[in-house]
């Protein structure tokens, strides 16, 4: 399933309004990933938002509308989730998820560079 290009455009527009951040787009996770300051921040996968957030917030965020745990190889990944379209339908909810990802991005470690 191709990713939601309208959602990707909405994220792109939102991120481009933020000063002093470096944004790069990469195709991954069967969609488009927005790298912020060389770190994976947020993705569009199908019609869902894939979020990277502070794992400490896992339980609190799991109660939000549209939250779905991210499961890989049968394990729930802490600090990652999918948010269904219902969870980002309003401007307030959309901005909540984007800002949650951006907040964690500031403290997240950048991936190690290959030598």
Per-residue model confidence as pLDDT tens digits over 13-29: 999 999 999 999 999 87
Structure confidence at residue 35 as a pLDDT band (50, 70, 90): very high
- Which burial class, exposed, middle or buried, applies to 22 when counting CB atoms under 10 A from its CB (0-12, 13-18, 19+)? exposed
Domain spanning 5-107 has what CATH number? Answer: 3.30.1460
Q: Indicate the length of the chain as a whole number.
A: 115
pTM score, whole prediction: 0.91
d(CA 54, CA 103): 8
Q: Is the pLDDT of residue 101 over 80?
A: yes
- Per the model's pLDDT, the better-predicted residue between 110 and 53 turns out to be 53
């Amino acid at each position: 399933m191709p990713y939601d290009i309208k959602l990707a455009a909405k994220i792109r527009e939102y991120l481009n309004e933020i000063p002093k951040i470096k944004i790069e787009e990469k195709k991954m996770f069967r969609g488009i990933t927005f790298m912020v300051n060389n770190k994976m921040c947020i993705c569009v996968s199908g019609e869902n938002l894939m979020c990277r957030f502070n794992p400490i917030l896992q339980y609190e965020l799991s109660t939000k509308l549209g939250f779905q745990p991210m499961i890989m190889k049968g394990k729930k990944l802490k600090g990652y989730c999918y948010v269904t379209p219902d969870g980002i339908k309003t401007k307030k909810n959309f901005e909540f998820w984007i800002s949650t990802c951006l907040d964690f991005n500031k403290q997240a470690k950048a991936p190690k560079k290959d030598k």
